[in-house]
Structure formats: structure tokens, C-alpha cells
Amino acid sequence: MVLIAVLAISAALDTVCWFQTIHRLETTARTAMTAARENGWTVETTPSHRGGWPFGAWLVFDRLNSTHPASPTSPYDAGWAGERIYLGGSWISLLQSGLPLSLTGHQAMRLVVNEDVLTALMTGLEIHIRNPENLSFSAPQLQLAFSGKWPDRQFSIHTLSGRLIQSVAARPDDTRLGLIANAVAVNGFPLPYGFSSNLHNTHLAIALTASQSSPGRSLLDPTSYGRLILQDASASPASTSKDNRIALTGTLTLPEQNGTLTLTMTRWQELATRLLDRPEIESHLAPDLQATLQKLVQKASATPALKDHPFSMSLPIVNGRILPDAQAVSALVGNSFQSP
């Protein structure tokens, strides 16, 4: 009798918690859709289904489509089409992660800005919302494609995880949008001159600061940002040792895309040798830069102690274009080869 009473009380408490959580999830879903519509989005979804009892609580949407046409106040065109969207989760995930959002079906996203088009395809996306300004995410695979004024490029990201930080009301020069992401592998990552490369153990940390015109503008509006701060973008080329790392850091002003990036490579000799051995890449390098790089590799090979020295150089960026500084490389080779 005692056991039956305990089970009955537990079931009753679980049922009460389930109803309260379902009510909170439905309120959250309605609030999010209302806010999206007030910001220019058209949202269409199938009726939600309740589920999870007695092990959790969630709402299920079999399909969700949303679009945002460009306008003078929001100069971007965007859309999202998804299937099988779960809002909520098990009791454990609700206690540990705040508000889980699972997108188990196929998801497609499109963003058009100034005729540049970004398309993303994914499945199995998991999002955990701790508060409105902080969410974490993970996905087994993400496929990205660029087109429009950009050269057409496609690449895929495997075992992606990270965190997105947003502050819509950020003051000018404060961080309005921040992203930290890690991936086990990136296949077909686009490089200059139409080339691509496979990368592994990639890491990205960027921050976008608010501009003077950011108040009231969407996070997708490029005019709401004043600077892009690249805190760390690093990876290891898949064809080399995992100790070979390439990293970029620096700052760009927006929307002009002017600034300076710093390129740093560790155990770079193997990578440099492979690049110089590929005629299709070597043909795109200026003759003086080719000679400088070859001299740099020869000098490092003749001095074993230099193999552990990282190589670092500045890359001026003008209107979004990288301008390799051959003089900086020449000075580096002509001196005592001490990395800046």
C-alpha cells in the first residue's frame, strides 16, 4: 500500500509538472512567433503536438516555414524551412540546459544580402537556450553554399558545436553578436584562386560590434555592425601533421571590410613545400613572392632550430581583398628570422 501511494503521488506530481511545462512551452512558442512576425517575418507551421509524459515535456511541430522579404529598413532576404522540430525535452535536459530545441528532420536556410546568397542544409541540429542572449548548438553535419556576386563555393562541416552570444541593445563599439564554434573536420573549405582544402580540428571565435545605427535593427542587418573582430580562426590542414596549425587574427571595419589580419603558422615548412610543389598554386604567386618563399623554405631546412619557430606575417585587407605583403616576407627572410 505504501508503494502504491508513493507511485500515485509521484505520478500526480509528474502530471502537474508536465502540464505546467507544456503551458510554458506553448507560451514561449507563441511569443517567439509573435516577435518574428512583428520583425517582418512570415511564419507558417503545422499545429503542435504535446508529448513527453512521464519522462519529460515537449511540443512537436511537423513543419515550419518562415520567410523575410527585403525592405528599406531591413535590407536582407531570408528564409527557413524545417521539419520535425521539438521544443522541450526530457526532465534532465530541461533542468540542465534551460530550453532545448531539437531539429531532427531536414532543415534548410537561405540568406541574401546585396545579391550574395548563403544557403545552409543540416539535420540533427540541437540548440540549448539558457537565456535569450546565450545559446549553445551542435550538429553532426552542416553543408554551406555561397553564390551570387561571390564565386560559387560549397563545403561541409562535420561534428559542429559552439555558442552564440547576442545583445540586441548593445551600445556602439560593444559586442552585439559573438560566435564560438568548433568542428572536427571541414571538407572543401574555399581558398583564394578557386582552390579548396580539407581541414580538421577547426576553431572560430569572432565578435561583431554594434554600429551607431544598430538600435532597432535586426541581427541579420549588416548595417547594424561597425567592426568584425577575428579573435581566432585556426585549423590544421588535413594533409599534414595535426601539429601544423594555421591561424588568423585581426580586425576589419564594416561595411568597408578594411583592416589587417595576422597570419600565423606553426610547423609551416611542410605546408609551404607542398604549396610550392603545386604548379596551379605557384602560377598565382608573383615572381618575387615565389622567390621569397623558396628562400624562406631553404633557410629553414638548413637551420634545424628554425623548424619550431612559428611564421607570422600581416595581411592588409582592402575592400574585402587580401593583399599579401611580399616586402614583409622579404624583410623577415633577410633578417635573423625571428617571428614578430
Q: Are residues 111 and 217 in the same domain?
A: yes
Q: Which residues of 35-60 are buried (b: 16+ CB within 10 A; e: fewer)?
A: eeeeebbeeeeeebeeebbeebbbbb
Q: Are residues 147 and 254 in the same domain?
A: yes
Confidence at residue 189, expressed as pLDDT on a 0 to 100 scale: 87
Confidence at residue 109, expressed as pLDDT on a 0 to 100 scale: 95
Domain boundary among 229, 251, 267: 267
Q: Are residues 256 and 326 in the same domain?
A: no
**Do 89 and 102 touch, CB atoms closer than 8 A?**
yes
Confidence at residue 158, expressed as pLDDT on a 0 to 100 scale: 96
Q: Are residues 233 and 300 in the same domain?
A: no
> What one-character-per-residue DSSP string does 248-298 give?
EEEEEETTTTEEEEEEEEES-HHHHHHHHT-HHHHTTS-HHHHHHHHHHHH
Stretches in the chain below the pLDDT threshold 70:
1-10, 150, 192-194, 239-241, 268, 270-272, 274-286, 288-289, 300-308, 323-340
Domain carrying residue 98 = 2-267
What pTM did the predictor assign? 0.82
Contacts of 159 (CB under 8 A, 6+ apart): 140, 141, 183, 184, 185
Q: Are residues 27 and 157 in the same domain?
A: yes
Q: Are residues 38 and 126 in the same domain?
A: yes
Q: Measure the CA dihedral 262/264/270/271, to 10°.
A: -40
C-alpha cell belonging to residue 95: 533542468
Q: Are residues 57 and 155 in the same domain?
A: yes
Q: Are residues 262 and 274 in the same domain?
A: no
Confidence at residue 307, expressed as pLDDT on a 0 to 100 scale: 61
> What one-character-per-residue DSSP string does 25-68 give?
HHHHHHHHHHHHHHTT-EEEEPPPEEE-TTTEEEEEEEEEEEEE
Q: Are residues 215 and 317 in the same domain?
A: no
Q: Are residues 180 and 48 in the same domain?
A: yes
Confidence at residue 340, expressed as pLDDT on a 0 to 100 scale: 33
Domain boundary among 267, 293, 316: 267
Domain boundary among 267, 293, 314: 267
Number of domains into which the chain is organized: 2
Q: Are residues 194 and 332 in the same domain?
A: no
Q: Are residues 169 and 286 in the same domain?
A: no
Identify the H or E element spanning 23: helix 2-38
C-alpha cell belonging to residue 316: 592588409
